[in-house]
């Protein structure tokens, strides 16, 4: 009888150990699958956040450019009146416009928002300093 009991205890221990290993492997596989799914979801959310940020920047730049164009239209419409009332001042204003002072200002504003600037024509766009100075 002791041999039979020893055999049963050995069999039960081997069965229990096998079940524990199988359960641990299933648990580990489930954790790995969850980690892969969470990583994929995190990447998708990062892409969505980047898209939302690009849309926000585009809206902001649209607003600024629309305002700049509105100012130019008002100046162009007021030009004939200014020429008649104060020709020197009107000429100076048109000269500044031709020189592109405002364009440079708006360009730097856009670069500060987006964080990008053109290095040169050969290398294309590259990341700008976080706080560029105008006229740099």
Query: CA 79, 82, 87, 93: dihedral to nearest 10 degrees?
Result: -60
Strand ranges (E), the chain: 116-120, 124-127
Give the pLDDT of residue 21: 96
Burial state string for 116-126 with b = 16 or more CB within 10 A and e = fewer than 16: ebeeeeeeeee
The mean of the pLDDT values for the chain is: 78
Q: With a cut of 60, say whether residue 123 has pLDDT above it.
A: no
Average pLDDT over residues 117-122: 50
132 near 110, Cβ under 8 Å?
no
Residue 125, phi then psi, degrees to nearest 5:
-80, 145
Q: With a cut of 90, say whether residue 105 has pLDDT above it.
A: no
Give the pLDDT of residue 97: 66
Nearest-5° angle of CA 130, CA 121, CA 96? 75
Query: Range with the lowest mean pLDDT among 43-52, 82-91, 98-107, 114-123?
Result: 114-123
């Amino acid at each position: 009888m002791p041999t039979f009991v020893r055999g049963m205890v050995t069999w039960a221990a081997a069965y229990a150990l096998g079940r524990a290993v199988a359960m641990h492997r299933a648990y580990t596989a489930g954790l790995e699958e969850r980690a892969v799914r969470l990583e994929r979801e995190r990447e998708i959310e990062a892409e969505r956040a980047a898209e939302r940020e690009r849309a926000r920047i585009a809206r902001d730049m649209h607003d600024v450019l629309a305002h700049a164009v509105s100012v130019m239209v008002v100046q162009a419409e007021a030009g004939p009146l200014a020429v008649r009332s104060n020709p020197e001042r009107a000429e100076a204003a048109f000269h500044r416009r031709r020189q592109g002072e405002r364009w440079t200002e708006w360009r730097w504003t856009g670069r500060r928002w987006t964080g990008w600037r053109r290095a040169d024509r050969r290398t294309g766009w590259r990341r700008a300093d976080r706080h560029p100075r105008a006229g740099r």
